[in-house]
A and B are shown apart, each in its own frame.
Chain A
Amino acid sequence: MAEISSTLPDGPTIKGRLSQDDIIMRFGMVMIAVYLVATMVLPMWTMLSKSFSTYHFDLAGYELQVSDDDGAFDGTILTPAALNTELGVVEPDDLTAGSDSRMGLTQFFPDFSFRSPVMYRVRNTSDTGRFLVGSELKTGTDWLELDSNTFRRVQMRPVKSTGLGNFVNYFSTPALFNSIKNSLFIAVISTVITVSLAFWFAYGLNRSCMRYKGFFRLVAMAPILVPSLLPGIALVYLFGNQGMLKELLFGASIYGPIGIVIGSVFFTFPHAFIIISTALAISDARLYEAAVSLRSTPWRTFWTVTIPGARYGLISAAFVVFNLVITDFGLPKVIGGQFNVLAVDIYKQVIGQQNFEMGAVVSVVLVVPAILAFAIDRMVQSKQVALLSARSVPYQPAPNRKTDNIFLVYSIAVATFILGILVICQYAALIKFWPYDLSFSLRNYEFDRMDGGGWGSYFNSIQLAFLTAIIGTCVIFFGAYLVEKSNGFKTGRALFQMFAMLPMAIPGMVLGLAYIFFFNNPDNPLNFVYGTMAILVICTVTHFYTVSHLTAVTALKQMDREFESVAASLKQPTLKLFRRVTVPVCMPAILDISIYLFVNAMTTVSAVVFLYSPTTTLASIAVLNMDDAGDIAPAAAMGMMIFYTNAGARIIHLILTRKLLGRTQAWRAR
Chain B
Amino acid sequence: MSAVADNPNTLLGGADLTEATTEARPYLSIEGLWKAFGDFIALKDISLDIQEGEFVCFLGPSGCGKTTLLRAIAGLDLQTKGTTTQAGKDISSLPPSSRDFGIVFQSYALFPNLTIKKNIAFGLENTGRSKSEVEARVSELLELVGLTDQGSKYPAQLSGGQQQRIALARAIATSPGLLLLDEPLSALDARVRVRLRHEIKELQRKLGVTTVMVTHDQEEALSMADRIVVMNHGVIEQVGYPTEVYRDPATLFVADFIGEMNQIPAISGLSGQVQIGAADMICRPHDFGEGTSVVAAIRPEDVIPHGDGIRTTGADDVIITPENAFEVTVDEMEFLGSFWRCCLGSERFSNSELIADFSINAVRRLELAENKKLTIELPKDRLMVFAPGVG
Contacts and interface: CB of A to CB of B under 8 A. Distances in A.
A30 B50 CA distance: 41
Contact of A572 (B125, B154, B171): B125
Interface residues of A, number: 41
Interface string B232-263: 00010110000000000011000000000000
B15 interface: no
A565 B109 contact: yes
A664 B103 contact: no
B97 A568 contact: yes
A11 B235 CA distance: 19
A15 B92 CA distance: 9
Contact of B154 (A1, A566, A568, A667): A667
A12 B102 contact: no
Interface in A3-31: 4, 6-9, 11-22
A11 B81 contact: yes
A1 B239 CA distance: 11
A445 to B, nearest CB: 46
B132 interface: no
A402 interface: no
Contacts of B99: 569
A250 B258 CA distance: 86
A571 interface: yes
B388 to A, nearest CB: 13
B81 A14 contact: yes
Nearest to B155: A667
Interface string B83-105: 00000000011111111011101
Nearest to B253: A1
B235 to A, nearest CB: 6
Given A562-B107, A572-B126, A664 B113 contact: yes
Contacts of B117: none
Contacts, number: 123
B113 A8 contact: no
Contacts of A8: 34, 36, 41, 80-81
B78 interface: yes
A91 interface: no
A670 B156 CA distance: 7
A16 B126 contact: no
Interface in A617-670: 664-668, 670
Chain A contact residues: helix, strand, loop or mixed: loop
A560 B104 CA distance: 13
Contact of A565 (B44, B76, B125): B76
Nearest to B251: A1
B289 interface: no
A6 B93 contact: no
A19 B95 contact: yes
B75 interface: yes
A563 interface: yes
B304 to A, nearest CB: 30
A562 B111 contact: no
A14 B79 contact: yes
B81 A9 contact: yes
| Residue with the greatest number of chain B CB neighbours at <10 A, chosen from A13, A560, A569 | A569
B339 interface: no
B95 A16 contact: yes
A584 interface: yes
Contacts of A667: 112-114, 154-157
A430 interface: no
B111 A563 contact: yes
B331 interface: no
B170 interface: yes
Contact of B102 (A19, A569, A580, A666): A569
Nearest to B153: A667
Contacts of B123: 569-572
A595 interface: no
B174 interface: yes
Given A1-B235, A8-B36, A563 B95 contact: no
B105 A566 contact: yes
A581 interface: yes
10 contacts: A8-B41, A9-B45, A14-B81, A21-B97, A569-B74, A570-B122, A572-B123, A581-B113, A667-B114, A668-B156
Which 3 A-B residue pairings sit nearest by Cβ, starting from the closest? A570-B123, A19-B95, A667-B154
Given A4-B45, A569-B101, A667-B156, 13 more contacts: A8-B41, A9-B45, A14-B80, A16-B78, A17-B93, A21-B95, A22-B95, A560-B107, A562-B107, A570-B102, A570-B174, A581-B112, A667-B113
Interface of B: 32, 34, 36, 41, 44-45, 74-76, 78-82, 92-99, 101-103, 105, 107, 109, 111-114, 122-123, 125-127, 154-157, 170-171, 173-174, 176, 235, 237-238, 250-251
